[in-house]
Structure 1
Amino acid sequence: MRYRPSVASRRDRPSESLFQNHVFVEPLDVLPRFASVTPPPLEVLVHLPSYGALLVPAPDTPRADLQTSDPYTVKGEVEVRLTPGQKHHRCHGIRMEEDVFFEQVFPLIGNTVFNQRSQRFDFSLSVSTPIAPGDAVSHDLRVLCDLSAQVIGLNPAPRANFDGSPLRPRFDFSHLDERETMKQLPSYEEQQEVDNADVRWIEDMISSHRIVVVKYNPNPMGSVNVLDDRFSTFVQGLGLIEAKCSASVFTVAGPMVARIKIPSPSLDATIFAFRLSILQRQTIVSPRDGTRVHTESLVPFATIGTVPKASTQYPSLDTPFVWSGQEVGQSDERKGWSSEIRGRFPRCDKCRWSTLPGVFTPVTLSHLLVYDLFYSLFGEEHDGTKMTVSGPGRLRRMRRTKATILPNSFT
């Protein structure tokens, strides 16, 4: 698993979908300027369930006397195909690689021969939890989890990091364990066919990289998350305010419904808008030097009415409103005001999911559900004092916040 900002060079990743296999050929030496490039004799594919999305249970609440957690097992297949027209090829070994801020490497199978058929090798990785959740939106800071399969030839070149720097010495392939650990050994007929054929050694190292998306479910029962947040409060000039926000499937970009009811507002009140937002707080810790960067962003996702501009201090009588009392001069026959709105929570490109307690990651996010009601009282300042000259009152905002865990989307 790696952390990198969005300004990093993208030469290390093709622009295709994150969930596709990306195959690279790493030769022994740099090719001459006008040398012809020979296509790789093999194609390596990494197959994972659910398109590489790993739904991990929420970690237990950390305790001083309980410092361990159960590992999470990732199962899949590595498929090796000979490209059309290629004969048998022998490789030095196959291994899987998983980068989780530390590099964990183990050999999958040792010296073997590939025939003209497609061959698959099962693997099972035990990942210690809590592992940092992936975050791979192109415009934002990233935490990437790569699962790599490598077919190793006689003279593999050292791999490089995302920034082009070489990996640490423990990635030296000369120390690769060649013990066969898989059960998919060739049959007697296949071995005889290989023994009688002209088998060529693979010279380079052929790699396939697959993005793995780690997602945590905050629900301890493992089912869908539900939101039912409601409150009631008393505000001078508006009286009793009742509001709620609910979602049968609470998730990023999931559907929601919100309701607000003000039974007996003052006759000199004007209500301009009711808005719901997500306040996102982000803390980024550099894995290199521990530097912390804190940012906040308010992401509105549902609005009833029109929110006055921030520069507006005293909304005029022609400012759009959703309810106004008789004493304002814009008579509304309704005794009170109530409304309902349906919409969706912010998309993942606007708002990221919350970081669960006990999960350690360079990018930590927390969220607040924010209710904002914009209104004014005719002839009054925002603190309730009377204006020197009677007229439209100063703009006020009633805000209510509720800490919440915004779940990831599991679809």
Structure 2
Amino acid sequence: MLRYLSPARAGPSSRPRSDDPQLSLHVPNYGVVFLPQPEVGDNKPRHDHMLHGELEVTLNAPKRAKSIRVGLRSKIKLDLGPGRRAEETILFERSVEIVSSTADGVWLAAGTQRFDYTIIMPSNLAPHDQHSNGIVYHDLYAEVEGLPSPEEWKAPRSQGSSSSLFGLRGKRSPSAANSKSVSRAASPNRKGGKSGASTPLTPGAQAHPAALSAALSNLASAAAALLAPTPPPRLDRAPSYDDSQRPKEAANGEWLQGTFKTKRSIMLIYNPNPGDGANELHDRASGYVPGLGVWELVLVSDVFTICALLQIKINLASLMPATTVFAVRVLLAQTHSITSPRDPDSQKLTGTKHFVILEQGKRPPAGHLHPDKHYIALWRGPLAGGKDKVDGESGGSVKIDTKARLPNDNVSRPSTLPGVVTPINVSHALVLEVFFSVWGEDDKGQAMKVPGPGGLRMLRVSRPVVLPSVR
């Protein structure tokens, strides 16, 4: 069952190259994490959950990596309606990392190797949840970080000298540019001296403009060379003990280029049973309503969860001859309230869904306030134009004993347990509804001036329940 409920397994986000590492995350129970109900109260200790698992790394050739990281991230996405933008907030994030103690990095041999990890999860972390305007989800992710890829090293290259007399970087020195152009003009032929030689200046003689420019450019180049910092000589590192123990192919091992990632979804399920066993439901309610008489409701489920099989018993034991029962149904009412984690004082968004679990008979259409005998009824007494029998003073009766199934995890959500910290709170109730009327009485039970079909009434009984998730 867990295999079908679990999220998709981890996989690469894009098609990998043949020399890229293949990452795979393994967790118990197909990624479903079971948590007990959190302890309520400031003085009680918190028993945080230890999430254990394995990261599998597969390589075709030995490589080095800077670090290996595994983490858990919880997020919430909200649609807060008109006038407010959508929100995406990180509720929780924690990671563990393997970092090499030397500059050699983490050595990854060719083949498949596994790394164990343990992440401490808070005992009151928000469970996964989804509604029309909000979703909470958890991602378990892994990252293997190598050296920056060549794309990350790319940057606009500066032209000309990297430093100048005026402290400017990335620009060509005007004197250097003149020097290049003048050197060609000063030696149009190879006669009379070496190519590129400047004409000496003598007292009383007028200097040629080209020669003067060449002299100044040489002076500027010499000054720039003197001011440029000289890098220190690079010394080879002495071999370490790890180098001597490493296989020979490690010496020529290449670094991974870039960061490789994978992730998978994690489902958090809380169990309200203190004994960590299955949850049961045994609920009984009864009462008396004028015009309907005595009613009784019994709800039983040996394993009470979402999508559970529910046994329902309904007994209307003292129906009057003038009473008509049109329909009886049982609903699951699910109410959720959403609070923005960025603005806790803002107005909460609330909504309620009703799921019909059992329905016998048919409710009269909306707008028909005084349905007559032409409408289908589950039970109609003789004074209301029906043929159902009435047994003396005890009256008539309607008995229902059947089984029905609750909605599945795709449409309904588990109840939020006390102590769980989450922006989305969910509560449930099982609701009994009985639609009936009494001949000659309005919907408030008062006698009508002109006797006729009675006003439509409804008995509504709500029984709060804690609905656990599938276990």
Of 135, 151, 154, which aligns to 2:147? 154
Distance 2:283 2:16 in 1: 61
Q: Shift in Å at residue 116 of structure 1?
A: 3.0
Conserved in 1, the CA contact under 8 Å of 2:127 and 2:136?
yes
Distance 1:253 1:212 in 2: 21
Paired amino acid for 1:149 = A
What SS is found at the alignment partner of 1:393? coil
Distance 2:425 2:94 in 1: 24
Please give the residue correspondences for 1:254-269 in structure 2 after superposition, counting only pairs within 5 Å.
Answer: 254-269=308-323
Please give the residue correspondences for 1:5-404 in structure 2 after superposition, counting only pairs within 5 Å.
Answer: 18-24=7-13, 38=17, 41-63=20-42, 65-66=43-44, 68-82=45-59, 86-100=60-74, 101-108=91-98, 110=100, 111-136=105-130, 141-155=134-148, 191-192=246-247, 194-195=249-250, 198-290=252-344, 291=346, 292-333=348-389, 335-404=396-465
- 1:129-175, Cα deviation, whole Å (9 max, x unpaired): 111111257x56211111111111112799xxxxxxxxxxxxxxxxx
Conserved in 1, the CA contact under 8 Å of 2:94 and 2:119?
no
Please, what is the CA RMSD of the aligned residues?
2.4
Conserved in 1, the CA contact under 8 Å of 2:25 and 2:55?
yes
Conserved in 1, the CA contact under 8 Å of 2:357 and 2:404?
yes
Structure whose CA Rg is larger: 2
Conserved in 2, the CA contact under 8 Å of 1:227 and 1:250?
yes
Conserved in 1, the CA contact under 8 Å of 2:280 and 2:302?
yes
Paired amino acid for 1:113 = W
Distance 1:192 1:347 in 2: 55
Aligned to 1:162: none
Greater helix share, 1 or 2?
2
Gaps of 5+ in 1: 1-16, 26-35, 159-185
Distance 1:289 1:311 in 2: 42
Query: Cα–Cα, structure 1 residues 296 and 259, in superposed 2: closer, same or farther, change >3 Å?
Result: same
Conserved in 2, the CA contact under 8 Å of 1:19 and 1:52?
no
TM-score by length of 2: 0.69
**Number of aligned positions between the proteins:** 348
Conserved in 2, the CA contact under 8 Å of 1:115 and 1:194?
no
Gaps of 5+ in 2: 1-5, 75-90, 153-241, 391-395
Distance 1:299 1:369 in 2: 10
Paired amino acid for 2:328 = F
What SS is found at the alignment partner of 1:281? strand
Q: Shift in Å at residue 193 of structure 1?
A: 5.3
Distance 1:194 1:307 in 2: 80
Distance 1:44 1:327 in 2: 76
TM-score by length of 1: 0.79
